[in-house]
Amino acid sequence: MIKIRNLEKIYRTEEVETVALNKISIDVKEGEFVAIMGPSGCGKSTLLNILGLLDDPDNGSFLFNNIEVANFNERKRADLRKHNIGFVFQSFNLIDELTVFENVELPLIYTGVKSGDRKKRVEEVLDKMQIMHRRNHYPQQLSGGQQQRVAVARAVVNNPKLILADEPTGNLDSSNGNEVMTLLTDLNEQGTTIIMVTHSEHDARYSHRIIRMLDGQTVLENIMV
Amino acid sequence: MLKNYFKTAWRSIVRNKAFSLINIIGLSIGIAASLLLFIVVQYELSYDTFQPNYNRIYRVATQDKFDKDITYNSGIPVPALKALRAEFPQIQFGALQSAYGSQVTVPADKNETGNKFIEETGVFFIEPQLFDVFKYQWLTGSPASLKDPNNVVLDEKTATKYFGTWQQAIGKTVVLDNAITLKVNGILKNTPANSDLPLSVIISYVTLEKCGQSYNHFDTWNTTSSNFNIMALLPPAVKMDDVDRGLLQFSKNHYQPLQSNSIKTNFLQPLSTFHFDRRFASFGDHVTSKSTLLTLSLIGIFIILMACVNFINLATALSVNRSKEVGIRKVLGSNRSQLFGQIMSETAVIVGISILAALGITWAVLPYIKHIASIQEQLSLFTIQNLIMVVSIGIIVTLLAGLYPSLVLSKYNPITALKNKMVTAGVSGVSLRRGLVIMQFTISQVLIIATTVAISQMNFISKAELGFNKEGVLILNGKSDSISLSKQSAFKQQLLQIPGVQSVSFNNDPPSSDNLWSTNFAYNHQPDEKFQISLKFTDADYLKTFGLQLLTGRSPVESDTMREVMINETLVKKLGIKNPNEVIGKVIRIGRNQWYPVVGVVKDFKTSSLREDIKPTLITTRKTFYYCTGIKIRTQQLANTQLAIQKVWNQFYPEYAYSSQFFDENIERFYQQEEQLSLLYKIFAGLAIFISCLGLYGLVSFMAVQKTKEVGIRKVLGASIISLLQLFSKEFTILIIVSFFISVPVAWYMMHSWLNNFVYRIPLSSWFFITAIVSSIAIAWITVGYKAIKAAIANPVKALRSE
């Protein structure tokens, strides 16, 4: 599903040049659950941003479902993103002005799903995430665990092929964290590819494979048994 | 999608209540103010446009070119009518003679003297042909009703006023000025209020054949009165310039043989300029200059711009807080145009709410519009034109206010946006914000300067040394028919018996008025001088009653006819004489009359408004022109004295309605438009300052939140409250100073041109400018102060913990 080769991302200011990704090459197969780990500043988030088509690399190749997307413009990236990729963030990133239902509905609006279908699909996914009873609440009225469940619901509502999770349990206590990890595992079992950046060895153990990074490069890969 | 946009927009407005309120208040006041101004401007521009031949109607006006100046007159000599018809057969002409200030008496059975009505405007002697040029709607009758002498046509409201209903008026008689009996044989629909030729009492023109002299209607090429107008309807193919060329030749043929001291030329004045050209007298209620309308439009546009500036400034400042939302939307697949649409819809929602509020404000304020504009008609807010205007304002304001914030927000990089690293809207955002604040304060300061200059000039006018006493002089409008004149002496004696009356003078005109009776003249057996003099016919008590001061000599002796003359200082100077005593005993001839001795020189007094120079004036006696009675009264027991005067009037002139005004009120009316403009400046300068401060308050509130951490750290390091206040106010102070330097030349140019309308004016001193900068900075500091002090005295520990 994902094949990156010699990918480079360099941040330049007038005086300093920081290599965020240094000719990194990774493959992710469809249906895999991959965890990316490493110390702060090793390039995990940069890699996730590029994989999520939020940022573009300076050099190298990025094949997404065998299509070269490294040089896509913003409009093409947005188009590919909204149909194929779901995101889960550490800080949930829900829109405060929208209710639970409306937050989850948002990706469907952007992909042009009709109102009746949207309602059905949002209700289905809220039900699945067991937050249907909170559908009319605003994010500020929910606990952290509930907010992250909404974020997961929003990530999956479009049935994406790939979910990118950036420290999804970082802001949660262990019990809520476990719940979220279980949700992700369930999704993966149903066929969704998941790439997760984490600092937590505990969370990483839910994945099939751990890629460890340092200074913009992969240094180790652990296959989980 | 659209529903989602509006839903988010509404919730965002509710969430940012304070900022939304600032935007809505600013925009609604701005839109309401502009809407009101646009309604006024639109109304003024609509004058006479209801005439179906609007673009083909002209007045044949007159220009007199003297040695040094040019005078204009809306009138034309009476014989020109016949000559024009003969020499321009392709053009339709129609003539009218105004008789405003007439009394119409409706005979009544119970009331011996009948019901008397003084008609200040709308009374005309009119040819039936005038209705080929101007179209009016007839309820009954037709232009042919005015073919015969002693016929009158009334408009609906006048007919109703006289007879109860217009239907009852037909066939009845009325008496004009106690002399001419007229039969009502036609009724016109009321003339629209936006007309420069409002007709109420229309008497057949041929009636003038017998009574022309009473209305200064002289069938001679030597007299031009603005009361006699000839209107023309040009055929579609005929161009104004071609006719003007013909009129040049016409003027040569008819005026050159008169050997006057000026070159007289007739030319066409288009109907489209009747309402805006202050060089000509108007039969309507007022004339508005196009520059005034332009000023009003500009103020309207500026006020809206200022409100938009607040919106842009607050929206770009707040965009920092919204970066997360923008980031999420981008991550979820929203593209730039969708985000742009969303932010534009938010603007549209705020503008929509503001428009509703603005309509409410306009609706409430519209009835008071007559205080800032010469509009007596009750205007309606809900017209098609206003609706189009409101929608256009809505679209323009949404685009103006929303475009920049939408572009800025939709451009955000989603990763940076999500990390909330958008510290500001970028350097360009800050510079733009500064630029916009400068623009706001430039407009405010221009208006502050304009206001202080206008107020000072109006104060100067009200306190100016006029050379006469305007307080406590009552002016009665009388008649100069032989019966009335015969009673004048006894009337005066009776008035002087009233304890409150100090003196009484009969005259044709008070010392200062906008009437003009001028003529050519010759001095000391020389040929005619190259300038005209203004005439005043008065009795011997004129100087005493109006407090005029004699410079040398004495007043002309009391006489029914002209025997001696007195002149003013300006005339002495214009004759090139340095010592006023030199003119005493010399002779003056006015028009083609005989020579009269000069017996006195009166100290200069303002002969008209302070817009104009003092006119060279000659004062003499001639009883037949004493239309006016000036009564100097003691200010104590004013009401009783007035009542007593009215009683004496009714006793002497039961057939004439009593009508009086105080002289100072007449003088105030000279400056009505200036007073209105001055009031307008006051209101709009206030609004401009309010809107700017509103924006400033919003920005400072935002700054206070942004700088919480900075203030905390500075306090921990030992910063004083004063230094923290400086942190907030320094930038705005600099911006105000920059805007001051931009506003100075603009305001100077604007007010210099305005003051040029007055011959007697205040100097444009630096104090006006200093007041503007000091008051702007003071107001800005007060606005910034509250928020800044609150931030500065907050507990630094709290501030740091909040990070």
| ipTM summary value | 0.74
Q: How far apart are CA B108 and CA B301, in angstroms?
A: 56
Do A109 and B1 lie within an 8 Å CB cutoff?
yes
- Contact predicate B280/B269, CB 8 Å: yes
- Collect all residues of chain A within an 8 Å Cβ-Cβ radius of residue B331: 52, 54, 81, 87, 93
Q: How many Cβ atoms are within 10 Å of B557's Cβ, its own excluded?
A: 10
Q: How far apart are CA B62 and CA B74, in angstroms?
A: 6
| DSSP structure class, residue B607 | -
What pLDDT score does B427 carry? 44
Contacts of B372 (CB under 8 A, 6+ apart): B40, B676, B679, B680, B683
Please list the residues that pair with B733 across neighbouring strands. none
Instruction: Report the residue from A79, A97, A106 with minimal CB separation from B332.
Output: A106
What pLDDT score does B424 carry? 46
In Å, how far is A95's CA from the nearest CA of chain B?
A: 6
Do A78 and B333 lie within an 8 Å CB cutoff?
yes
The domains of chain B are located at 2-44+289-461+672-801, 58-273, 479-655
Average pLDDT over residues A42-48: 89
Do B332 and A110 lie within an 8 Å CB cutoff?
yes
Going from the C-alpha of B135 to that of each of A27, B93, B99, B656, the distances in angstroms are 89, 13, 21, 34
- Collect all residues of chain B within an 8 Å Cβ-Cβ radius of residue A96: 15, 325
Instruction: Report the residue from A74, A75, A98 with minimal CB separation from B8.
Output: A98
Say if residue A72's pLDDT is above 50.
yes
Classified as helix, coil or strand, B51 is: coil
Q: What are phi and psi of B529, to 5 degrees?
A: -70, 165
Residues in chain A, total: 225
Query: What are the pLDDT digits (tens) for B747-782?
Result: 999 999 889 888 888 999 999 999 999 988 988 888
Q: Which of residues 629-688 of B touch A (CB under 8 A)?
A: none
What pLDDT score does A82 carry? 83
Q: How many Cβ atoms are within 10 Å of B767's Cβ, its own excluded?
A: 11
Going from the C-alpha of A20 to that of each of A4, A43, A90, A213, A217, the distances in angstroms are 15, 5, 20, 11, 9
Contacts of B575 (CB under 8 A, 6+ apart): B523, B529, B583
Query: What are the pLDDT digits (tens) for A164-174?
Result: 999 898 888 88
Whether residue B418 lies within 8 A of chain A, CB to CB, comes out as yes
Closest to B379 in 3D by CA, of B618, B39, B664, B701: B39
- Contact predicate A181/A170, CB 8 Å: no
Instruction: Report the residue from B11, B334, B336 with minimal CB separation from A110.
Output: B334
H/E segment holding residue A175:
helix A174-189
Q: Which of residues 292-331 of B touch A (CB under 8 A)?
A: 324-325, 327-331
| Strand pairing category for B102-106 and B115-119 | antiparallel
Please list the residues that pair with A26 across neighbouring strands. A4
Residue type for position B326: V
Among B332, B342, B421, the residue to mutate for chain A (most A Cβ within 10 A): B332
Residue type for position A87: F
Mean pLDDT of chain B: 87
In Å, how far is A127's CA from the nearest CA of chain B?
A: 21
Q: How far apart are CA B747 and CA B761, in angstroms?
A: 16
Closest to B191 in 3D by CA, of B139, B155, B142, B227: B155
Closest to B196 in 3D by CA, of B286, B268, B123, B270: B286
- Collect all residues of chain A within an 8 Å Cβ-Cβ radius of residue B1: 109
In Å, how far is B321's CA from the nearest CA of chain A?
A: 12
Q: What are phi and psi of B263, to 5 degrees?
A: -95, 115
- Among positive and negative, which fits the CA dihedral B195, B200, B206, B212? negative
Among B16, B331, B336, B338, the residue to mutate for chain A (most A Cβ within 10 A): B331
Please enumerate residues of A whose Cβ is less than 8 A from a Cβ of B. 49, 52, 54-55, 74-75, 78-79, 81-83, 87, 89, 93-98, 102, 106-107, 109-111, 154
- Collect all residues of chain B within an 8 Å Cβ-Cβ radius of residue A106: 4, 329, 332
Q: How far apart are CA B81 and CA B266, in angstroms?
A: 12
Do B335 and A75 lie within an 8 Å CB cutoff?
yes
Residue type for position B144: A
Classified as helix, coil or strand, A216 is: coil
Q: How far apart are CA B429 and CA B435, in angstroms?
A: 10
In Å, how far is A173's CA from the nearest CA of chain B?
A: 22
Do B333 and A82 lie within an 8 Å CB cutoff?
yes
Classified as helix, coil or strand, B581 is: helix
Q: Which of residues 774-793 of B touch A (CB under 8 A)?
A: none
Task: State the residue for tokens 């809107």.
Answer: B691
Do A95 and B12 lie within an 8 Å CB cutoff?
no
Q: How far apart are CA B165 and CA B55, in angstroms?
A: 35
Q: Tally the C-alpha atoms within 13 A of residue B663's C-alpha that lie toward its C-beta.
A: 24
Q: Which residues of chain B have pLDDT under 70?
A: 1, 109-112, 259, 419-430, 479-480, 796-803
What pLDDT score does B369 carry? 81
Please list the residues that pair with B201 across neighbouring strands. B123, B154
What pLDDT score does B426 carry? 47
Whether residue B709 lies within 8 A of chain A, CB to CB, comes out as no
- Collect all residues of chain B within an 8 Å Cβ-Cβ radius of residue A156: none
In Å, how far is B12's CA from the nearest CA of chain A?
A: 6
Q: What six digits make up the tokens of B5?
A: 């946009």
Closest to A49 in 3D by CA, of B414, B132, B249: B414
H/E segment holding residue B644:
helix B638-652
Where b means 16+ CB within 10 Å and e means fewer, B221-247 reads bebbbbbbbbbbbbeeebeeeebeebb
H/E segment holding residue B249:
helix B240-255
H/E segment holding residue A126:
helix A115-128
Going from the C-alpha of B358 to that of each of A158, B28, B381, B692, the distances in angstroms are 44, 5, 11, 18
Q: In chain B, which residue's Cα lies nearest the Cα of A97? A: B11
Mean pLDDT of chain A: 89
Q: How far apart are CA B742 and CA B736, in angstroms?
A: 10
C-alpha R_g of chain A: 17
- Collect all residues of chain A within an 8 Å Cβ-Cβ radius of residue B2: none
Q: What six digits make up the tokens of B736?
A: 């105000």
C-alpha R_g of chain B: 34
What pLDDT score does B801 carry? 55
Task: State the residue for tokens 């309120």.
Answer: B21
In Å, how far is A93's CA from the nearest CA of chain B?
A: 6
Q: How far apart are CA A5 and CA A68, in angstroms?
A: 11
Instruction: Report the residue from B4, B15, B333 with minimal CB separation from A81.
Output: B333
Q: How many helices (H) and strands (E) does chain B have?
A: 23, 25
Q: What six digits make up the tokens of B324?
A: 């997360």
Q: How many Cβ atoms are within 10 Å of B402's Cβ, its own excluded?
A: 23
**Alpha-carbon torsion, ordered B731, B734, B736, B741, to 10 deg:** -160
Q: How far apart are CA B175 and CA A203, in angstroms?
A: 108
**Domains observed in chain A:** 29-59+73-223 (3.40.50.300)
